[in-house]
Each structure stands twice: as C-alpha cells, then as structure tokens.
Structure 1
C-alpha cells in the first residue's frame, strides 16, 4: 500500500478529489488552511484569512494501480498551479 501526501492550493481541491475518486482510491483525508514555507516562499496569515493562497494537505492511501492513475492526473495540476506531492510506503497497524 502507498501513502500520497499532497500539498496544493485549496482552489484545486475539487479537481484533485475528482481525480482521487476516478483513480479508484478508497478514500482520502483533507486538512485545510495549511501554511508554511516551500521553494516559492511562505504563505502569510493574511493570505490564509482572505482565502487567497490557502493550501490543503490531502492524504491518500491506495494500491499501486490507483497511484499510477493519480500520478498521471496530478502532475499537470502541480506543474501548472504549483504544489508538491510525495509518495511513501504504508503498512497497516
């Protein structure tokens, strides 16, 4: 099983969720209003308050087949709108 951690703009969340569902992943979790600093600078609290620049952290656990579909769908979004995605191995307790 794989774990996908995705940090992206909240504006792209609907598109990302659609891709997750289409890939056949069993579910996901969303943490809203994620702030921090990345390669393009930091998100200020004022941007978060206005909703401009607010980020989300999407966590997906899925099998290899769904992951490959997600990679293909998410890469263009991340390249165009920005954001990061990381994949790691996950093991149930």
Structure 2
C-alpha cells in the first residue's frame, strides 16, 4: 500500500513538474519573441534616424561646396587667391 502511494506521489510530482516546464517554456518563448520584435522596431527607428542625419550632412556638404565653387569662380584674381587661402585655412 505504501509503495502505491509513493509511486502515485512520484507520478503526481512528475506531472506537475512537466506541466510547469511546458508553461515556463511557452512563457519564455513568448517573452523572447516580444523582445525580438522590439529590437527590430528599434533597429528600424535607428536606421531612419541615421538616414535622415546622413541626408542632412550631405545637404550641408553640398551647400558648402557650392559656396566654395562660387567663390572660386569670381573674375577677380584677388578673390580667387582669398578663396584658396580660406579653403586651405578651413574657413567658410
């Protein structure tokens, strides 16, 4: 009789452990999937920010290049000399 109770108790403990493991597995997997989705959203937002900053820098560089080009295209020799000096000294 006591052997049957031991086997029955062991079986119940095993069933409870198995059910707890399955529930924990599903819960952990759901948490991981949510984290992966959150990382993907964050990565997309970071890429959008990076692209906008890159475009802004590109516009500024082209604007600066156009200004330098206009300075260099003046007819006066002295203006060209001053423009070259400004470029060499990294002045705007």
Larger helix proportion of the pair: 2
Shorter-chain TM-score tier: under 0.3
TM-score (ref. length: structure 2):
0.20
Larger strand proportion of the pair: 1
